[in-house]
Amino acid sequence: MEKVKALFSRSQLMLIAIVMLWFKTYILYKVGFKINTTNTVQEFLLFINPLSSAMILFGFCLFFGYKNRNTMIVVISFLSTCVLYFNLLYYRFFSDFLTLPVLFQTSNAKDISGSVIELARFVDVLLFADVLLLTYLILAKKVSIVPKKKWEPVVMAVLATGIFFTNITLAQIERPQLLTRSFDREMLVQYIGTFNYHVYDAVMQTSTKAQRVFAESSDILEVKQYTKSKELPPDPELFGIAEGKNVIVISLESLQTFVINNTLYGEEVTPFLNRLIEDSYYFDNFYHQTAQGKTSDSEFLLDTSLFGRSSGAVFFTHSGNEYQALPETLGKHGYFTSVMHANNRSFWNRDLMYNSLGYDHFYDIEYYDVHDENSVGWGLKDYDFFEQSIDLLKNQPEPYYTKLITLTNHFPFELGEEDRLIPEYHSNSRTLNRYFPTVRYMDMAFEHFFDRLKEEGIYENSIFIIYGDHYGISENHNRAMSMYLEKEEITPFDTVQLQRVPLYIHIPGHRDNEVKNTVSGQIDLKPTIMHLVGLSTKNYVHFGSDLFSPNRESFVVLRDGSHVTEYNVQTRGVCYRKRDGAELDPLNCSRKMKEAEEHLAYSDRVVLGDLLRFAAPK
């Protein structure tokens, strides 16, 4: 204890830096990340977990001579604050924490710069107040500089390690198997702290790289056996109904189900999509299953019927894998396969990943006439995108499988006054307020696209798969969302329900359309499309099931480990009744929770181990 007192009396600046980083991090947990605790132990862990990290970080300064020590304290204070701030910006939109793969997605940086500016707040400068204070204390010579002692680093290391292991021990007692839940980043931050979480994430990313190296050909056999046991026969009346027809997939950016058949100040938000329900199979319990890969994750789920990664994006981390992808399969059966998206071809690493998935062509921004008058937010407006895509579709060989990805309804939901067909909402959330006009604009643009397809004679010989790619409104806007939905609050149960996105399967001339209530997700699209065009899914490794199969069970697994059935919703360790959100005994969800964990684990084995390279050619 005497050594500890001597250490901090000899380095007063370091003590000040540790305390300020400690308390700043805790305040950020409560105010910025809004991390809630349910008991005293959780609150204590939340309070104490930044301390060991701060001591380890500033402990490195003890290895420097007394002339450079104080300078390094300021440098480390600045860098650690940057880590906190980057997480804060990311959390404000995604309600999630940064991972190593996301940090290395530098090719996306230019495209998201506008979103970052939108997320910044003037009050954020207060995060760097301690850095300025430390700098002032040095320049004003308010702190002393004393010679270095050899025992100082040892004392700091022992003290920091003791606090860290106390933290980990209490966390494991409070939440058993905590360190196996790498997909639940908020829980990890809550129990072990932001900086410790980033170290943990780096270790996990390194271990996943090793999985491919040590994978063996026999590993795929267990996965095949598992997926084969889940295989379901198709609906005999719909199997092959679209054989020989064009398959047009439309990914509608950030579209969530809560706006469908809903109004804003008496006006329909999505009038065309509302009418389209009558002429389509509409799935009102369809969930996105994306994680940090967002749109790219939804593409991956659609084309492979595999889950994306819990951190980062498969499009970046595993673009060199072998896949049994839908475009490759359709290509072998005579389809021309393409993607139309008026964005840079390198965004989300699409130029490389599309080759791995087997696409014949990518119509990127170079194929579109994009200028200031027809652009807003992230780029080409949806109306112009759809209009210009018509000629590209007409010039493709038939039959084709083409995916179109829209842009306008993308955070930060910018739209010119001339394109606003409904007013903004009025709430405390600028994001939610602006969401409604961009959704309405996208709906109008999509209606125009359908009209043009009919004019050009493309419509009748095509089927359409129309779906929302991921959520647009995160949990950070729960207060405004509860206002719009006329709820007292948005509970974790409500949050899961808000992950529903629309799915339409529109077959021109087909009359037996209906609203399908089956609980499903994006991972089910590949087997469904294959059966519609008359292709067998036997001998394929996929984790979805045909949405029209008579034997299909209502069940979906979200990437964070949550799952939904016809009767229950399980999320964040709590089981809810799906009908009304009432909490249930956990045993009601336990059987399906095990199956959800198996789905994620087996899919991760396939992706991380690149196991499909061992699969027999089809």
Question: Tens of pLDDT along 519-545?
Answer: 999 999 999 999 999 999 998 999 999
d(CA 528, CA 510) in angstroms, rounded, equals: 16
Q: Is 368 exposed, middle or buried (0-12, 13-18, 19+ CB in 10 A)?
A: buried
User: pLDDT-derived band of residue 8, with 50, 70 and 90 as boundaries?
Assistant: low
Please give the order of strands across the beta sheet that includes 246-252.
361-363, 336-340, 400-405, 246-252, 462-468, 503-506, 281-283, 515-516
What are the residue numbers of the active site? 295
β-bridge mates for residue 402, sequence order: 248, 338
Return the higher-pLDDT residue of 160 and 441. Answer: 441
CA 522 to chain centre: 13
Q: Which of 115-119, 139-143, 215-219 has the lowest mean pLDDT?
A: 115-119
pLDDT value, residue 105: 57
Q: Read off the DSSP letter of residue 500.
A: B
Fold for 219-614, please state it: Alkaline Phosphatase, subunit A (3.40.720)
Model pLDDT for residues 301-315, shown as the tens digit of each residue: 999 999 999 887 888
Q: Is 466 helix (H, G, I), strand (E, B) or coil?
A: strand
Q: What is the mean pLDDT of residues 124-133?
A: 91
The DSSP letter of residue 233 is P
pTM for the model stands at 0.79
Q: For residues 202 and 207, give the distance between their C-alpha atoms in angstroms, rounded to a whole number.
A: 9
Mean pLDDT for 594-606 is 95
- 391, burial (CB in 10 Å: exposed 0-12, middle 13-18, buried 19+): exposed
Domain residue limits, the chain: 2-211, 219-614
pLDDT of residue 181 exceeding 60, the answer is: no
pLDDT number for residue 177: 67
For 231-287, write each residue's pLDDT tens digit.
899 999 999 999 999 999 999 999 999 999 999 999 999 999 999 999 999 999 999
More confident call, 524 vs 349:
524
114 pLDDT more than 60: no
Task: Report the candidate in 466, 469, 208 with the shortest Cα–Cα distance to residue 314.
Answer: 208
pLDDT, tens digit, 9 for 90 and up, residues 81-112: 999 998 898 888 667 788 766 666 555 555 55
User: Which pLDDT band holds residue 432 (cuts at 50, 70, 90)?
Assistant: very high
The mean pLDDT of 42-51, rounded to a whole number, is 90
Provide the 3-class DSSP secondary structure of residue 583.
Answer: strand
What b/e readout covers 435-445, taking b as 16+ CB neighbours within 10 angstroms?
bbbbbbbbbbb
| Among candidate residues 181, 194, 186, the one with its CA nearest the CA of residue 52 | 194
Q: How confident is the model at residue 180 (pLDDT cuts 50, 70, 90)?
A: low
Region of poorest pLDDT, from 196-205, 446-455, 462-471, 504-513? 196-205
Give yes or no for residue 183 having a pLDDT over 60. Answer: no
For the chain, the 3-state helix, strand and coil shares in percent, each to the nearest 5, are 55, 10, 35
Q: 193-208 pLDDT, tens per residue?
A: 888 888 877 776 676 6
- How many Å apart are CA 251 and CA 302, to the nearest integer? 10
Mean pLDDT taken over the chain: 89
Tell me which amino acid residue 254 is: S
Strands (E), 133-195: none
User: Dihedral angle at the C-alpha atoms of 422, 473, 346, 600, nearest 10 degrees?
Assistant: -140
**Band of residue 499 on the pLDDT scale cut at 50, 70, 90:** very high
pLDDT surpassing 90 at residue 140: no
Task: Give the pLDDT of residue 380.
Answer: 94
- Is residue 117's pLDDT more than 80? no
Report which of 457, 456, 419 is spatially closest to residue 438, judged by C-alpha positions: 419
- Taking CA 340 as the corner, what is the angle to CA 101 and CA 600, rounded to the nearest 5 degrees? 40
- pLDDT of amino acid 115: 64
Q: Which helix (H) or strand (E) holds 19?
A: helix 12-31
**Cβ-contact 263, 269 below 8 angstroms:** yes
